[in-house]
Amino acid sequence: MPPGVEYYCPCLSSTPHPPPSSLASSLYSFHPLHSLFFCEECDAVRCNRCVMVEVSGYYCPNCLFEVPSASVRAEKNRCARNCFMCPNCQNTLTVVASDPPDNGETRTSPIVLSAVGEPPFFLYCNHCRWDSAEVDMTFEKPTGLAAQLQKFEDSAPEALEFERLKEHFEPFLPAASSALARDIPGVVKYNPLTRSRSGRDRAAAKSEIPDYRARVEAGSSHGLASGSGGEVDVDFMKHLETAGEVASLEQRWVNSWTTSLHANDLKPLRIPLHSKKSKRCPSCRHILIKPEQKAQSVRFKIKLVAANYLPAITVSLPHARAAMEMIKRSSALNKSTSTAVAEEHAAAASGAMIAGKTYPFHLAFTNPLYDPIQVRLHVQRTLTPSSADGKQKAPFAVTLPSSAFPIAAFAEAWEYEDDEDMFGDEGDYDGARGTKDRDGRARPRTVGVLERRANVTVVGGEVVLGKEARGNIKFNMLVTYTYRSDDPEPENDDPTATPSKRGTQDKQPQMKTFSFYTVVELGNIIRREESKVDMDP
């Protein structure tokens, strides 16, 4: 949804530089700021792909009951109270009694039936109208259904076989995981188990794994009635009348083993538990996220999110904004504009740009820190592989303010006094000099600081689109900012450190810098001749 800015997480990679934004795979390295974390120990951004996740508590998403970890294992990660999932549509099932309903409404409001109903009881789906009586599953009492269901689940031949398999292989598991860690170096970092047991593993790895004798023969029609691809299934498929008779993949793969192909064999499922998660830095293991214990609390004991540390950046295109405004105004006044004009506005409002043109764009920086910061921007230059003749022909060129600019501190009290003393006067950061500005000099204030209010600074940039430019316009931008450090000891000026760890000890000893990469997406290019007819690039 352009335009937009996302932030780079290096995910423990050896290079601090992100892949070029022209690569489709670069998408996976960039994240919205609000989804990122920040480790103070490592002085680094962390994301959901690289943090270590630990379960800090289990709860049922339906009855919201917090399940102690001790019972989670015994109950096979599913709710042991009266919470069931419809095998047909995955809606939550309700317990219904057999007594005749007063009117049509009773069936869909099960709360009525909990205490007074007459047996037998069955499970009913108020979305697709499936009920457990269809699969001959009825209950004498409306309570303790989960225990009855679990007994049934656990006594299934596949479940018993799985238990035996687990028992058989349990002693060899540490050896296997250490072997995996040896072959794939990254694994050991994520598996505390192998690290602590490595001594014993070597001994275990030497012993041979004895043959396992299965109780149920795979593919036989004895234990597994159907679904294992035997003749029974072929016969069933041959005589199909409607596709609905076959249970869909989605309906079947919630089970961990092959289940019947017949839709009318599907059994209700106990609802899988959800968990609350703590998150740790993958490198130093410090806690980044620690939720409060109560399952439905949205508060956190520890919450180190990147938005608290890095300035928030938003991008806007003045031409798109202007077009948007026109649409808003005309719709608010219920004016009827000609469709051609409206379409043009719509194209511009959605951020579409025309090849061969030059567009200004605005980057708004909001400072989360209680101290002012100085920001410097760089475009990551990328080489297009198509430049065989040696002549570099980028499809577009981006100009950003070349000198540093200040952003005032975030103050809750809204007392923003002049912070000019700290960073010198306004003239110093007149960033209106672009590096590659062809004709921009005649138009001042396109590139440079445009606006400063409270803890927000808006800077202007410019993009020159080549005649042959196509597709999505996005570029990687390195953001470096200087802040006042509260750290008393200047310990981290290791020259081999990543740019983010380098301190600036030259002039002001308490000033430090931090750098991070972002990707700025401006929008799509439409060709001039297409612009009126077809908005699709």
Partner 1 sequence: MLRLKAYHRFRFPSEYYSLVLKAAMDNPIYYARAEYIETDTGNKVSRRATIAGPQNIILGGKTIIASGAIIRGDLRRTGPGHAVVISLGRYCLVGEGCVMRPPYKTYRGNFNYYPMKIGDHVHIGSNTVVEAATIGNHVDIGKNCVIGKFTIIKDCAKIADGTIVPPNTVIPAMSLFAGSPAQFVEDLPESTQEMVEAYTKNYYTRFQPMPTER
Near partner 1 in 423-442, by CB under 8 A: none
Around 324, how many Cα atoms within 13 Å sit in the side-chain half-sphere? 10
Around 284, how many Cα atoms within 13 Å sit in the side-chain half-sphere? 12
Residue 15 phi, psi dihedral angles, 5° rounding: -105, 140
Which of 12, 52, 112, 187 is the binder for partner 1 (CB under 8 A)? Answer: 112
Cα torsion 348, 353, 356, 361: sign? positive
**Region binding partner 1 by CB under 8 A among candidate stretches 11-19, 55-63, 144-152, 521-529:** 55-63
Distance CA 275, CA 67 (A): 10
DSSP 347-384: HHHTT-EETT-EEEEEEEEE--SSS-EEEEEEE-----
Positions in 3-42 near partner 1 (CB under 8 A):
34-35, 38, 40-41
Residue 391 burial by Cβ neighbours in a 10 Å radius (0-12, 13-18, 19+): exposed
Distance CA 185, CA 202 (A): 17
Q: Which does 47 bind (CB under 5 to 8 A by kind): partner 1, Zn ion, none?
A: Zn ion
Shortest gap between Cβ of 510 and partner 1 (angstroms)?
12
Q: Is 452 helix (H, G, I), strand (E, B) or coil?
A: strand
Which of 456, 498, 511, 537 is the binder for partner 1 (CB under 8 A)? Answer: 456
Q: Does 328 bind partner 1 (CB under 8 A)?
A: yes
Shortest gap between Cβ of 512 and Zn ion (angstroms)?
17
Rg (CA), the chain: 31
Residue 130 burial by Cβ neighbours in a 10 Å radius (0-12, 13-18, 19+): buried
Positions in 477-536 near partner 1 (CB under 8 A):
483, 485-487, 492, 512, 514
**Region binding Zn ion by CB under 5 A among candidate stretches 11-19, 191-199, 201-209, 441-449:** 11-19
Shortest gap between Cβ of 108 and partner 1 (angstroms)?
6
Positions in 177-216 near partner 1 (CB under 8 A):
none
Q: Which is nearer to partner 1, 40 or 426 (CB)?
A: 40
Contact 125, 91 (CB under 8 A): yes
Q: Does 446 bind partner 1 (CB under 8 A)?
A: no
Task: Quickly tell me which residue has 């540490």 as its tokens.
Answer: 174
Q: Which is nearer to partner 1, 30 or 38 (CB)?
A: 38
Which of 106, 138, 150, 226 is the binder for partner 1 (CB under 8 A)? Answer: 106
**Region binding partner 1 by CB under 8 A among candidate stretches 69-77, 214-222, 322-330, 391-399:** 322-330
Q: Does 132 bind partner 1 (CB under 8 A)?
A: no
**Which residues fall within 8 angstroms of residue 124, CB to CB, at 6 or more apart?**
93, 94, 95, 96, 107, 110, 130, 131, 132
> How far, CA to CA in Å, does 423 sit from each of 9, 74, 369, 429?
30, 63, 16, 9
Q: Which does 105 bind (CB under 5 to 8 A by kind): partner 1, Zn ion, none?
A: partner 1
Positions in 17-46 near Zn ion (CB under 5 A):
39, 41-42
Residue 278 phi, psi dihedral angles, 5° rounding: -100, 150
**Amino acid symbol at 433:** R
Q: Which does 50 bind (CB under 5 to 8 A by kind): partner 1, Zn ion, none?
A: Zn ion
Which of 59, 84, 124, 517 is the binder for partner 1 (CB under 8 A)? Answer: 59
Q: Would you state the structure tokens that stand for residue 353, as one six-digit string? A: 């740009």
Q: Does 63 bind partner 1 (CB under 8 A)?
A: yes
Shortest gap between Cβ of 397 and Zn ion (angstroms)?
30
Q: Does 284 bind partner 1 (CB under 8 A)?
A: no
Which of 5, 9, 96, 409 is the binder for Zn ion (CB under 5 A)? Answer: 9
Positions in 55-94 near Zn ion (CB under 5 A):
60, 62-63, 79, 81, 83, 86, 88-89, 91
Which of 22, 26, 56, 92 is the binder for partner 1 (CB under 8 A)? Answer: 92
Q: Is 82 helix (H, G, I), strand (E, B) or coil?
A: coil
Which of 67, 95, 125, 449 is the binder for Zn ion (CB under 5 A)? Answer: 125
Q: Which does 205 bind (CB under 5 to 8 A by kind): partner 1, Zn ion, none?
A: none
Q: Where are the alpha helices (DSSP H) in 91-230?
A: 113-116, 145-154, 157-169, 173-183, 187-190, 192-206
The partner residues of 525 in beta bridges, in order of sequence, read: 353
Which of 23, 27, 61, 237 is the binder for partner 1 (CB under 8 A)? Answer: 61
Shortest gap between Cβ of 166 and Zn ion (angstroms)?
26
> How far, CA to CA in Å, does 483 sit from each of 49, 214, 406, 466, 499?
28, 65, 10, 38, 15
Q: Which does 38 bind (CB under 5 to 8 A by kind): Zn ion, partner 1, none?
A: partner 1
Q: Which does 109 bind (CB under 5 to 8 A by kind): partner 1, Zn ion, none?
A: partner 1
Q: How many helices (H) and strands (E) does the chain have?
A: 12, 23
Positions in 349-378 near partner 1 (CB under 8 A):
364-366, 368-370
Interface ranges with Zn ion (CB under 5 A): 9, 11, 39, 41-42, 47, 49-50, 60, 62-63, 79, 81, 83, 86, 88-89, 91, 125, 127-128, 130, 281, 283-284
